[in-house]
Chain A
Amino acid sequence: KQEVTQIPAALSVPEGENLVLNCSFTDSAIYNLQWFRQDPGKGLTSLLLIQSSQREQTSGRLNASLDKSSGRSTLYIAASQPGDSATYLCAVRDRDDKIIFGKGTRLHILP
């Protein structure tokens, strides 16, 4: 059974700092891993998708890496801004096409 864990559960950092969010999964037989952003009371927005054959993806100040063999992914946010405050969730698509989510990391950027 696939299990996805995100550490830390919550994080507060001063504006301008670089930060890393972590995601781990128990079964490495995945098709892809996605990172999402969720603002309070809202739906989820896809940020980055890494296929199982890829090592990283970049979009603007965001960089996501994937180490499938060790079951780990990181989301790196450069030069954080108050607008980055949100909950960040990772999800893996397994070989049965189930998409399993972690519980998320609540990020607060301090102005």
Chain B
Amino acid sequence: NAGVTQTPKFRILKIGQSMTLQCAQDMNHNYMYWYRQDPGMGLKLIYYSVGAGITDKGEVPNGYNVSRSTTEDFPLRLELAAPSQTSVYFCASSLTGTNSPLHFGNGTRLTVT
């Protein structure tokens, strides 16, 4: 059971380039989340989804887009990368219900230069 899988682990982008961070889970979780974590800071919610076809903005959605066409996959798209998007990105998922903990992937470290 792989859990939450994020790819790639590391990426360097030039300013203005675009890329997609991949996130897949094999636990049949309805809820999926994207966070970014800057040095010394907690996690900031970018986007989340409560099921296939449904997405909502989090705390810091500007500069990002998401889609949720299947239960398993929740890709995060960066258009026109900026240095401010240099961060570690975490994907997480959970079952529906108030007693369902959040499961995290290992993160993607992104540098924009």
Contact surface of A with B, Cβ cutoff 8 Å: 4, 6, 31-32, 34, 36, 42-46, 49, 51-52, 89, 91, 93, 96-104
Contact = CB atoms under 8 A, between A and B. Distances in A.
B98 A43 contact: no
Contact of A42 (B43, B48, B100, B106): B106
Contacts of A43: 90, 104-107
B61 to A, nearest CB: 12
A51 B98 contact: yes
Secondary structure dominating the interface of A: strand
Given A31-B98, A98-B45, A99-B45, A46 B58 contact: no
Nearest to B107: A43
Given A44-B43, A44-B102, A97-B31, 9 more contacts: A31-B98, A42-B106, A44-B92, A96-B56, A98-B56, A99-B102, A101-B45, A103-B41, A104-B42
Contacts of B110: none
